[in-house]
Chain A
Amino acid sequence: MSETPAEQPGAAPPPPDSEPPETFAARLSARYRIGGIVAPLITTVVAFLAGGIVVGATGHNPLSTYRAIFNGTGLNWLFPWVSGADRVDAAINLQQTLIQTTPLILTGLAVAFAFRCGMFNIGGQGQYLVGAYVAIFVGSSWAHLAGPAHVFLAVALAALAGAVWGGIAGFLKATTGAHEVISTIMLNWVAIWVGDYFFGLSGPFQGPDQFNPISNTVADSAKLPVFWGDPELQGLHVGIFIALGALVVFWVILNRTTIGYEVRAVGFNPSAAEYGGISVKKNYFRAMAISGMFAGCAGAMDILGWEFNLSTPAIHASSIGFIGVAVALLGRNTAIGTFLGALLFGALYVGTSTRQLDATVFDPQLASNLTLIIQGLVVLFVGADLLIIGIWQWRKRVRLRTRQPAG
């Protein structure tokens, strides 16, 4: 991270008429932008190819597998020639994909925001979970509130809880220098086990069923309204708009506010920022709190949007926060990149689920693990931008060399 600060594209959509395209700086930034799109693209293609090799090596057909996964995601809804019953199915599948994309955008932003301040927030999972706990508590117990106020309070307090959980790591880094990677990993597991205690058998927030470790169910007034599809069949809730709004908020904070300026300055070079009068410690805390806010909000989206309650096995199995790391890395910590990364991983998650994938083509249990393999490869290759950039430049050099004798 620290090695290549200049390659982080400053803003997702570049200001259109800020500089004439002829200057050296503009050409340079254009090259970085191309590299910025190309590297994640190559990474994704390589990861899918490697995943295909695993599928092929274990005696399945990779092409039909990927085709079935693609149809399971519902992205074929976008093709105009899909019609009739297929189209109805595709719509339902696409709703599921977008339901998963919603929290992934937010946990992706949680990682990306801290990244821009030079920190690696692996704690998205813990921040997501404490947000979910608070959303359940507020959503199930303050039932006398009117609908909009109830939803608003539940989301706001969940985001606040996430901010506190992330802020602890930021505070520790600012005051004692404790590395945020270690403290956020520890906070993840504390959040998981505290949730296990809260909603487990005879726990303080266990639901009415005393033989199952499941929380109370969120009241109707706190549920996010469904705007596409049947609410009974888990249609798409309005949380997707909150997530899209968060992308805008992320971009505006980073690029149009003093807070964002300071955060980016610290991310580029903490000593220079300190010398320029920016408090590095304050920004460590602030960036982690804002990161946590995004992740906590993601927890609220899942709880108020479609889950409505939480069981302890679900707490242990949840990985939305961890996938957020892959989303942000693939999206190069920009708003648009995070959106595309979240869509990719949301689609993969849904496309390989037991409910969506055609089991006659490929076993969904295998497929969900294939998703993890692809995620792992994506993160592995994204981390090695030296490799990708090396290949990119080598290709160019080869092209130059082959052209030179002719000219």
Chain B
Amino acid sequence: MSTVELRERLADRAVAGPKQVAITGTFLGILAAWLALPPATVRTSTVPIVLGAIAIALGGYAALRDERRVGYGAVAAGIVGIPLGLLVQHSSVSHLDAAFAWGTLLAATLRYATPLTFAALGGMFSERSGVVNIGLEGMMLAGAFFGIWGADKSGSWIGGVAIAMLAGGVFGLVHAIFAIHLRADQIVGGTAINFLSLGLTGYLFIQVYGSNGTPSLSTGHWLTGESIPDVTISSGNNFFAQVFGQLNLMIWISFAVLVLSYLLMFRTSIGLRIRACGEHPRAADTVGIDVYKVRYVSVVVSGMLAAMGGAYLSVGFTHSFNENMTEGRGFIALAALIFGKWRPFGAFAAALLFGFSTALAYAIPPAYSDTASSVLRSSALFQALPYILTLIAVAGVIGRSIPPAADGRPYKRQ
């Protein structure tokens, strides 16, 4: 190795590329807001301003050197970080400590994110195979009702989850038949699934349980064996124990499903086939892949996973069912899928982000109940956050989300 070559290599190492600069910038932008929060609670306004300004500068540097996406990401982090940090500094430390108890906040984040993770992963299977699934909400709701019903009738949460998955699979099958063989518009079909599931679960709920509601722990005829158990790892009081110590079994299952989905979709030939059907069905057909079969299986699996999310919500979380209890979570899952660019870990990260915004929405109002600010005393604007973020994401301000090429296009065999 010549000395010139060596010097060039060293130079490459020493000066970070524009991408690394931008990532550092993003990190600083987040830090600008985070330092104002507990446990640091920095109270001088120069800190967020300086950190945010550096973030914007680094982002601009990277953007000018053709690292547009990460570059603008860093600029955005700085622009959002400065006012956020200053805003947080306006609030008193005692309020902040009450709202931002990180251990419980992150545990709550995982609880709220889990139904979204299941449904978003389900949506990924369907959309990666080329079938748009707006019906996630309905499939999730079906899982929520049939989960409770199954657990009640079979006397065990395992039966509940199994029946929920069966119901979700049936709704998936209906969507698949209309989308694949009848080549109906997939968005219309998904909308129909949502109406149908809302009506059917509401109807059966009233028919079976009536005005008494589902059996619950409080009314007595609901045994603990019928609820999905919590897994106790640690009951200590340190940070780790607060977050992971007592999580529901379904949350751990969701982690497993996440890893399995990733391996299946991106590391096996089955995944390659699914993706081929979603990107170029004709080409997939030409090489001998049965596009219809792949799409059918993917959409049914999608319904089953969405239903697992619903079953967690009813059997594992609230231990009861109410009409329309998913309240748009299926749509947030869809948003997480888009926000995560149709990738499993991306969707999971988005689900965590949206779960965090929900956790904040429930943590902030009680902590700020004695203040005059109506924004902080109401949780509503935090609930709107996932939707606004997704709107920004699809608009492509911070990196465009591009769906699989054949997503939503019916395929006709030749």
Contact = CB atoms under 8 A, between A and B. Distances in A.
Candidate in A58, A376, A382 with the most chain B CB atoms within 10 angstroms: A376
Interface string B31-68: 00000000000000000000000000000000000000
B391 interface: yes
Contacts of A382: 188
B206 A383 contact: no
B380 A172 contact: no
A193 B199 contact: no
B173 to A, nearest CB: 13
Contacts of B187: 120, 122, 181
Contacts of A78: none
Interface in B356-394: 374-375, 377-378, 380-381, 383-384, 387-388, 390-391, 394
A340 to B, nearest CB: 19
Interface string A362-395: 0101101111111111111011111100000000
A245 to B, nearest CB: 28
Contact of A369 (B202, B211, B332): B202
Binding site secondary structure of chain B? helix
A253 B387 CA distance: 33
B189 interface: yes
A204 B394 contact: no
Candidate in A177, A197, A374 with the most chain B CB atoms within 10 angstroms: A197
B200 interface: yes
A372 B199 contact: yes
B394 A182 contact: yes
Contacts of A152: none
Interface footprint category on A: 35 or more
Nearest to B394: A178
Given A375-B199, A376-B195, A387-B182, A190 B388 contact: yes
Contacts of B378: 196-197, 200-203
Given A120-B187, A329-B188, A178 B193 contact: no
B225 interface: no
B198 interface: yes
A385 B410 CA distance: 14
A384 B182 contact: yes
Nearest to A377: B196
A201 B369 CA distance: 11
B334 interface: yes
Given A329-B188, A379-B188, A370 B384 contact: no
Candidate in B183, B191, B204, B338 with the most chain A CB atoms within 10 angstroms: B191
B397 to A, nearest CB: 8
B17 interface: no
Contact of B192 (A122, A197, A383): A383
Contacts of B182: 384, 386-387
A181 B380 contact: no
B391 A183 contact: yes
Contact of A372 (B174, B198, B390, B396): B198
Given A186-B391, A366-B203, A176 B396 contact: yes
B184 A383 contact: yes
Contacts of B189: 380, 383-384
A285 B335 CA distance: 23
A329 B203 CA distance: 24
B328 interface: yes
Interface string B322-335: 01000110011011
A325 B134 CA distance: 14
Binding site secondary structure of chain A? helix
A373 B196 contact: yes
A189 B193 CA distance: 19
Contacts of A377: 192, 196
A372 B195 contact: yes
Given A203-B374, A366-B203, A375-B199, A172 B394 contact: yes
B414 interface: no
A379 B391 contact: no
Contacts of A375: 195, 199
B189 to A, nearest CB: 5
Contacts of A363: 206
A386 B179 CA distance: 11
Candidate in A192, A383, A386 with the most chain B CB atoms within 10 angstroms: A383
B308 to A, nearest CB: 22
B162 to A, nearest CB: 23
Contacts of B200: 54, 369, 373, 376
Nearest to B389: A186
Given A375-B199, A376-B199, 11 more contacts: A178-B395, A182-B390, A183-B395, A189-B331, A189-B387, A193-B387, A194-B380, A203-B374, A372-B195, A376-B193, A379-B192
26 contacts: A58-B204, A172-B394, A183-B395, A186-B394, A189-B331, A189-B332, A189-B384, A190-B387, A192-B328, A193-B387, A201-B378, A202-B378, A366-B207, A368-B202, A369-B203, A370-B199, A372-B196, A373-B196, A375-B199, A376-B192, A376-B197, A377-B196, A380-B174, A380-B189, A380-B193, A387-B182
Interface of A: 1, 3, 54, 58, 120, 122, 172, 176-179, 181-183, 185-187, 189-190, 192-194, 196-197, 200-204, 316, 322, 325-326, 329, 363, 365-366, 368-380, 382-387
- The 9 tightest CB contacts between A and B, nearest first, are A372-B199, A376-B196, A376-B195, A383-B188, A373-B199, A193-B384, A380-B192, A197-B380, A369-B202
